[in-house]
Copies of this chain bind each other. A is one copy, B any other.
Amino acid sequence: MILVMKPTATEENIQSVIQNVKQCGLDAHLSRGQDITIIGVVGNKHIFLEQNPELMEGVEKIVHVSESYKLANIQFHPAPSVIDVDGVKIGGDNFVIMAGPCAIENEALMMEMADVVKQSGAQILRGGAYKPRTSPYSFQGLEEEGLHYLAEAKKRTGLCTISEVTSIAAIQAAKGVIDIIQIGARNMQNFELLKAAGKSGIPVLLKRGMSATIDEWLNAAEYIMAEGNENVILCERGIRTYETSTRNTLDLSAVCVLKSKTHLPVIVDPSHATGVRNFVGPLAKAAVACGADGLMIEVHPNPSKALSDGPQSLDPPAFFALCEELKPYIALAGRKFIHV
């Protein structure tokens, strides 16, 4: 941590800040410049920060030079994490595809989709049981009943399953029923939910908040990991920008940034990011090419009848074609795409 002093800071101000730093058991290193003096602070800053050094006489600003997340930090865990979800490996040199309908609408549809996903070679079946919707008057999901359809689909096909949870009650309902719980963009900083997900021990796919910085996202992962659950998978799903021609702006650079900051696996969701079916394929390939560990793709047997997010869903033939097209890209990227 660096304290930048004001040009008007007096010698007395400087000495008083240094005194303060030392009283907290830290080292202070002074660099006097012509215009600006800076004080480097070294050691465990926790106690010092509680004194609000920004407000000490003569201090202009504080510059943090190290990250606040530890368990998610690549500096303390250089090898990529490989998360084992009932035999499916996520991370390392593996490549996974998670696919299925945005919302679980009924049992028949879920079984039909499970067969489609199984046939495509994808390893994980997705389906939304609890749907966070902007308007209270939109379809809100089948909830617990939906989770059980996923469990049946797993029995039928052997596919691992993932579904979003939006409450602590939903995490409890998911336990032992599905394989991965997803925390959605709107709940990325719902810290009570993050802690409960951490305590549950279930693998968690953590989507990036609509306007979350990468550091905030990794701190959200840290909330889960600090509860003892290290099985965290990150999922880039687009960020909010001024551009309106896509629903959000898919930030593929984030894949590169994450690979330089964390050991956790990174999945990309081009369906939610763009909201446009025709853009899913090209951006899925781009995600593979820039180093993602997997994809989440929406598929629906009849997108024009989907209760949620139809316009971004692929129909089964388009999804089969995309999986085939992705294979050489996955191979080029040095990844293994192993069917279950």
Is A38 interfacial (CB-CB < 8 Å)? yes
Q: Is the CB of B192 within 8 A of A167?
A: yes
Q: Are A134's CB and B68's CB within 8 A?
A: yes
Which chain B residues lie closer than 8 Å to A190 at the CB level? 166, 186-187, 190, 193
Which residue on B lies nearest to A62, using beta carbons? B311
- Distance in angstroms between the alpha carbons of A224 and B122 in the assembled complex: 40
Query: Smallest distance from the beta carbon of A266 to chain B beta carbons, Å?
Result: 12
- The reply to whether B55 and A304 form a contact with Cβ atoms under 8 Å apart is yes
> Chain A: interface secondary structure?
mixed
Q: How many residues of A contact B (CB 8 A)?
A: 102
> Which of A89-97, A153-161, A288-296 interfaces with chain B?
A288-296
Instruction: Provide the residues of chain B in CB contact with A68, threshold 8 Å.
Output: 134-135, 137
Question: Please, which residues of chain B bring their CB within 8 A of the CB of A214?
Answer: 243, 245
Taken residue by residue from 241 to 259, chain A's Cβ proximity to chain B (1 for < 8 Å, 0 otherwise) reads as 1111110011111111100
Please tell me if the beta carbons of A38 and B2 are within 8 angstroms of each other in the complex.
yes
Given A210-B211, A278-B260, A286-B290: A42 in contact with B32 (beta carbons within 8 A): yes
Name A306's contact: one of B52, B223, B332 (CB within 8 Å): B52
Query: Closest Cβ of chain B: how far from A35's Cβ, in Å?
Result: 6
Chain A positions 164 through 197: 1 when the CB is less than 8 Å from some CB of chain B, otherwise 0? 0011100000000000000000110111110100
Q: Tell me, yes or no, whether A84 is within 8 Å of chain B by CB.
A: no
Is A4 an interface residue when CB atoms closer than 8 A count as contact?
yes
Question: Are the C-beta atoms of A50 and B7 separated by less than 8 Å?
Answer: no
Please state if B66 and A35 are interface contacts (CB–CB under 8 Å): yes
Query: Which of A23-31, A110-118, A144-152 contacts the other chain?
Result: A23-31
- Name, among A187, A283, A286, the residue most crowded by chain B CB atoms within 10 Å (CB to CB): A286
10 A-B contacts (beta carbon < 8 Å): A29-B38, A31-B31, A31-B41, A33-B42, A51-B305, A56-B304, A136-B222, A186-B189, A249-B249, A257-B279
- With contacts A52-B311, A133-B191, A137-B222 known, what are 16 further pairs, Cβ within 8 A? A2-B2, A46-B137, A50-B307, A55-B310, A136-B219, A166-B191, A168-B168, A186-B190, A215-B245, A239-B242, A246-B253, A249-B249, A252-B283, A253-B283, A285-B289, A286-B287
